[in-house]
Structures are given as structure tokens and as C-alpha cells.
Amino acid sequence: MDTNALAGFHHLTAIVGDPQQNIDFYTRVLGQRLVKQTVNFDDPGTYHLYYGDEGGTPGTIITFFPWPDAPKGRRGTGQIVDISFSIPATALDYWVERLTEYGVAITGPTTRFNEQVLSFLDPHGLSLELIAHHGTQPHSAWKQGPVPEAYAIRGFFSVTLAETHQERTAKMLTDVLGFRPLQQEGNRFRYEVGDGGPGALIDVLSLPDQPRGRIAVGTVHHVAWRTADDEHQLRWRHHLLSHGSDVTPVQDRQYFHSIYFHEPGGVLFEIATDPPGFSIDEPVEQLGTHLKLPPRLEPSRSLIEKVLLPIRVPEENAGRSDLEV
Ligand code: ZN
């Protein structure tokens, strides 16, 4: 593997409403593990919730800012409009049944690049997809989750960007970020990065006449791409600066380090480091079971806990060694 290339997805971050509805849907219905319960570092009176596989492996992490009183957003151009998870091809019928049982309205299965796609919305209107993939899965499943391992979500498959000027975005993906054009179907252009395949795919929809989206509840805030460590991240930062990008200085996000910039269509991109990871402040067995704060916010813990809405984390979220206690 080329360690200088972006190694697919690190995480995706979206804005939603009520935190408990968010927890119930992503853990109980989709079978993800809540791997971190923390606050929005820029707005510590609100949560930042992270879900993923057992340890929160980069490429499986979806994170949310739950803002119960914020207005609803609008899907449109200049946005990430769909988040797609990878499931084994043999899991398609299981998911049709499971989602239906939980009262989730499904569109599909439809066919895209010869694969079956189930589309649905989360409780706050965020557009999600499950892609039934025949080949090797990008990640392993969370074995102790409520969904049997054979059917469980295996991390992200792809994201879809909607753009009025597809070619501008394509140029940055290929010329600056190292993506390669892979396939085209109608107005959908697929690119891959790093080793390619599920977990390293981006689809760009060319929608020249569509209005811009508005980022609020039910929309994606940004996508983060994965880099090995701080040194590689600094190289990416210099590379982006040399291409005239608006890249930020490195930000310490406690569980990874981040730089942010916009692609020409307006979508916020991040490049995040693999280390230090989610076990930096609680053991893997206990991930997501307690509110964790960065050291600078610890002195305000009692105030923060008073302001945050109370939440319940499902018992099965704790790892095996916890259950044995
Ligand atoms: Zn991020």
C-alpha cells in the first residue's frame, strides 16, 4: 500500500435532532456500537456521538452532532447527499425484513454499477444506503452487536456528492487528492482512492440545474479521509496549501488529529490521522458507556452534565468483559 495515499474513509459527520432517537436508531436498528459519548468541542452544551465497529476502526466511524432544536436542512448541491454502508450480498433480504420490522420505509433494492442498493432515511431525514457487495468487505463486523455477524454492516462503502459543476470537483479529486476515475453510469461518476474498492469510493452526481443544499438537521456536515499519522498529515497540509486550498491548521480532536478544507463545490473535507484512537481515554470494553471530556473541559464537567439531555445507552453496547462483571 502507498502510505502517502489517502486510505479511504476515516469518518463521516452529520447533523441530527434528538440524541436518544439517534442512539436508538444507529445501535438498535443498524447494529452499530456507540464508541464515544462526548461533547461538541466547539459547543460543549451539545453531544458529539460516535458509532462504529467494536473499537471504532477508521472507515467504520459515523459521528453526529445532535441538535434537537435546530431547523431541518435541505438536500441539494454542494453537499454529501447519501452515505452508503457495505453489507455482504447475502444480507440483502435480512435487511429488507429488519428495516421493515422497525417501520423504516425502504426504496429499492435498485441496481447501481451491478450492485443492489437499499435506500432509506434515518429518524432525522439523513439519507442512508446499504450496498450489497459480493467481494471482500472493507471491515469486519461488530460481533457482539444486535445484528448477526453474517449480516452486519462492514463499514462505509461510499459517499455521494451532488455538484452543479462536476468537473471542478473531479479535477480536485484526481489532480490534488489522488483519486482515480473508476466508472460512470448516467450522471454518476465514481472515483476510488488508495487501494480502492468499498471504503475508498466517492460518487459525484452531476446536477447542473439543482439548487444548493442547506446544512442543518438531516444533512452531512463533512467527510474525513484517512492518513497514517501526523507526519503524513503535515505533508498533505503542505500539498493542499501549494494548490491554493483553504486548509486549516492541525486541530486536536482528542481521538485523531484533523485538517479541514473545502472542495470546489463547497463540500467540507477533512484529513484525519489513525492515531491515537478511541481507547485513549477508556478501555475498548467500555467504549461509549460514559461521557468523556477532553482534559480542558473536565473542570466544567458538572455544568456540562447539567446542560446535556439525559441519554440511555443500550446494555449490549458494553463489551464482553463488562458483561461478565
Ligand atoms: Zn470530522
What is the 10 CA–ligand 1 centroid distance (Å)?
8
What is the 13 CA–ligand 1 centroid distance (Å)?
6
What average pLDDT does the structure give for the chain? 95
What is the 249 CA–ligand 1 centroid distance (Å)?
14
pLDDT (tens digit, 9 = 90+) per residue, 222-240?
A: 999 999 999 999 999 999 9
pLDDT surpasses 80 at 170: yes
Q: Which three cell numbers stand for residue 200?
A: 475508498
What is the 291 CA–ligand 1 centroid distance (Å)?
19
What is the 157 CA–ligand 1 centroid distance (Å)?
18
At residue 139 the predicted structure's pLDDT band, cuts being 50, 70 and 90, is very high
Distances 300 to 111, 151, 319 between C-alpha atoms, Å? 51, 42, 29
Contact 145, 151 (CB under 8 A): no
CA distance 14 to 259: 17
What is the 96 CA–ligand 1 centroid distance (Å)?
30
Q: Which three cell numbers stand for residue 248?
A: 486549516
Residue-level pLDDT at 318: 79
Q: Which three cell numbers stand for residue 9?
A: 474513509
Residue-level pLDDT at 239: 97
Beta partners for residue 77, in sequence order: 212
pLDDT surpasses 50 at 324: no
What is the 324 CA–ligand 1 centroid distance (Å)?
34
Classify the phi-psi angles of 223: left when phi > 0, otherwise alpha if psi is within -120 to 50, otherwise beta.
beta
Q: Positive or negative CA dihedral for 164, 166, 172, 178?
A: positive
Beta partners for residue 120, in sequence order: 128
Q: What percentage of the chain exceeds 70 in pLDDT?
A: 97
What is the 40 CA–ligand 1 centroid distance (Å)?
11
What is the 264 CA–ligand 1 centroid distance (Å)?
19
What is the 223 CA–ligand 1 centroid distance (Å)?
7
- Pairs from 309-313 (Cβ < 8 Å, separation ≥ 24): 309/18, 309/19, 309/20, 309/47, 309/68, 311/19, 311/20, 311/23, 311/37, 311/47, 312/20, 312/23, 313/23, 313/27, 313/34, 313/37, 313/288, 313/289
CA distance 240 to 237: 5
In the block, residue with C-alpha cell 476515475: 181
| Cβ atoms < 10 Å from Cβ of 161 | 26
What is the 2 CA–ligand 1 centroid distance (Å)?
23
What are the backbone angles phi and psi of residue 194, rounded to the nearest 5°?
Answer: 60, -130
Residue-level pLDDT at 1: 52
pLDDT (tens digit, 9 = 90+) per residue, 89-130?
A: 999 999 999 999 999 999 999 999 999 999 999 999 999 999
